[in-house]
Amino acid sequence: MSASIELSKLTVDFDGRFQLRDLDWQILPGQNWMITGTNGSGKSALAAVLAGVGDHLSGELSGLPERVALVSYEAQGELIEAERKKDDADILDVISEGTPVREIIDAVCLDQPLAEQLIEQFGLGSLLDRAFRKLSTGETRKVMLIRALTSKPDLLVLDEPFDGLDVKTHEMLHEHLKSLVGQTPMVMVLNRFDECPDFVTHIAYLDNGELRHQVSRNDQQAYDELYQLLHLKTSDLEVPAADPISELPPLDPNQPLVRIKNAKIQYGDTVIFSDLSWTIERNQHWQLTGPNGSGKTGLLSLITGDHPQCYVNDIYVFGFQRGQGESIWQIKQYIGYVSTALQWEYRVGTSLRHVIISGFFDSIGLYVKYTDRQRDIANEWLEVLGMSHRADEPFNKLSYGDQRLLLIARAMVKHPPLLILDEPCNGLDDMNRQRVLALIEKICADSETSVLYVNHHPEDKIKGIDQYLALS
């Protein structure tokens, strides 16, 4: 490929089923890309665009080379369907056997010696005279790979090329692709980050039909953050269980977590809000929004007991009526809290593991002996975060985004009935913001903790949060 491929504000429709939107992407000579993202994000659609698939609604696609070889499940299915249609159109009074594998390969082959080599390495020699449509899924995938690799493409697009291959064949294909570096540019769709070949130079991350991140393999911090985002989005790990010894006193199951009636916050003649009623039931997840000065932080302070006007309002929290003799710590033990202010306070140099363990004791830093079970739970949280290998690093040396993830895990370690996340994405760039949101999604899905997520943007929705309160 002598010229670059450029997508500029490109929107592509796929039969009205799916759209890729406003794509800006440039593939330069010498680059090999990996496309990744969660299921349904548009990875395969973007690969197909490079092979000329889809209806262009707006924007431009330039520099696409003449010969593009695509290997994908969709292309595989189309070839099998074409074989079936040949059978249906057969007017002869005989049963068609279908096109043999040999002819399927020869139809596009421009390198016969390579074809013979790959046929042997893929173990397809005994199948050359068999009808293509009678092969197994794995065998047809191997045929598709041979067709692509022997067609001398100017661009090789491989959608999950290692799927279904045994270890030996996987290694063989990897080595062959490695031998093409510098000759044939490659774009690969991979779900598993650990399958990313070392010759990949750049990574594109898609989410909901949009190209969100483009990362150079040489940018170690950006690469690590993208790895962690994919880990949080796609891993099967669940939120670790609570420590039974540190279990909180049980609450009345018939009472809501929070009930506020006709609340008002007023400073002198200035009314921040009034007549505000709100109930948070168990296992509800809420998003609280509103502009600066609308009273979001004040409302949270009524719940936590940090606002002096909480005692002149009708507020029940975890079954306690505010102002009836309960201590502030009786309330706070049931709340996990994360905010930018907390992050500013938490400047200690203790290890990542100890930061999470400190959540059992509601302390900034760790000053008491902890149990083996508490240590194990902290290690499980580090695994969820994709930080197991960094367990002994000092917290104050972490990036801002990594610190935020650790503090959310610290707040969750006791499985509080209510987790308050006060503007958890403040100060974060887009990549770190998405990592934090992915962790919140995992908490919503895998725990019985009710999440109260506070932010400025009502459109910034999190999967699992379906209750909304907007202050004005």
State the DSSP code for 351.
Answer: B
Note the pLDDT of residue 96: 64
Instruction: Quick: pLDDT tens for 136-173.
Output: 878 888 999 999 999 999 999 999 898 877 788 889 99
What b/e readout covers 143-168, taking b as 16+ CB neighbours within 10 angstroms?
A: bbbbbbbbbebbbbbbbbbbeebeee
Q: Token pair for residue 443? A: 């908490």
Note the pLDDT of residue 413: 95
State the pLDDT confidence band at 293, using cuts at 50, 70 and 90.
Answer: confident
Note the pLDDT of residue 98: 82
Note the pLDDT of residue 108: 95
5-234: which CATH topology? Answer: Rossmann fold (3.40.50)
Segment 424-452 shows an average pLDDT of 89
Distance CA 419, CA 92 (A): 71
Distance CA 472, CA 455 (A): 13
Whole-angstrom Cα Rg for the chain: 28
Distance CA 470, CA 472 (A): 7
Note the pLDDT of residue 400: 85
With 90 as the cut, is the pLDDT of residue 452 above it?
Answer: yes
Bigger pLDDT: 453 or 247? 453
Residue carrying the six token digits 């020699």: 125
Note the pLDDT of residue 92: 52
Distance CA 24, CA 7 (A): 5
Segment 294-303 shows an average pLDDT of 91
Note the pLDDT of residue 93: 53
Q: Token pair for residue 89? A: 């159109």
Listed range (191-195, 217-221, 293-297) with the worst mean pLDDT: 191-195
Note the pLDDT of residue 246: 81
Q: Which amino acid is at 373?
A: R
371: how many CB neighbours lie within 10 A of its CB? 13
Instruction: Quick: pLDDT tens for 377-401.
Output: 999 999 999 999 999 999 988 888 8
Query: How, if at all, do strands 258-267 and 418-422 pair?
Result: unpaired
Share of the chain above pLDDT 70, in %: 96
**Domain residue extents for the chain:** 5-234, 244-470
State the pLDDT confidence band at 425, using cuts at 50, 70 and 90.
Answer: confident
352: how many CB neighbours lie within 10 A of its CB? 27
Q: Are 82 and 31 in contact (CB under 8 A)?
A: no
Q: DSSP E strands: which ranges in 281-353?
A: 286-289, 314-317, 320-321, 335-339
Segment 307-316 shows an average pLDDT of 90
State the DSSP code for 100.
Answer: B
Task: Name the helix (H) or strand (E) containing 22.
Answer: strand 18-27
Note the pLDDT of residue 1: 61
Task: Name the helix (H) or strand (E) containing 159.
Answer: strand 155-159
Task: Name the helix (H) or strand (E) containing 186.
Answer: strand 186-189
Note the pLDDT of residue 468: 94
With 60 as the cut, is the pLDDT of residue 101 above it?
Answer: yes
With 70 as the cut, is the pLDDT of residue 459 above it?
Answer: no
With 60 as the cut, is the pLDDT of residue 90 above it?
Answer: no
Q: Which long-range contacts (CB under 8 A, 24 or more apart) does 72-77 make?
A: 72/44, 72/47, 72/48, 72/157, 72/158, 72/159, 72/160, 72/189, 73/44, 73/159, 73/160, 74/44, 74/48, 74/159, 75/51, 75/144, 76/137, 76/140, 76/141, 76/144
Q: Token pair for residue 467? A: 């209750």
State the DSSP code for 456.
Answer: S
244-470: which CATH topology? Answer: Rossmann fold (3.40.50)
Q: Are 144 and 76 in contact (CB under 8 A)?
A: yes
| Torsions phi, psi for 439 (to 5 deg) | -65, -40
Q: Are 69 and 151 in contact (CB under 8 A)?
A: yes
Q: Token pair for residue 371? A: 């149990």
With 70 as the cut, is the pLDDT of residue 89 above it?
Answer: no
With 70 as the cut, is the pLDDT of residue 458 above it?
Answer: no
Note the pLDDT of residue 397: 86
With 70 as the cut, is the pLDDT of residue 276 above it?
Answer: yes
Provide the whole-model pTM. Answer: 0.76
With 60 as the cut, is the pLDDT of residue 376 above it?
Answer: yes
**Apex 299 CA angle, 318 and 285, nearest 5:** 60
Distance CA 97, CA 85 (A): 13
State the pLDDT confidence band at 87, using cuts at 50, 70 and 90.
Answer: low
Note the pLDDT of residue 157: 97
Q: CB-hemisphere CA count at 13 Å for 121?
A: 20
Note the pLDDT of residue 348: 82
Listed range (75-89, 164-178, 233-247, 351-365) with the worst mean pLDDT: 75-89
Instruction: Quick: pLDDT tens for 28-68.
Output: 999 999 999 887 889 999 999 999 999 999 999 999 999 99
Whether 244-470 and 5-234 are alike in CATH topology: the answer is yes
Q: Token pair for residue 219? A: 């940018």
Residue carrying the six token digits 């992407």: 25
Mean of all residue pLDDT scores within the chain: 90
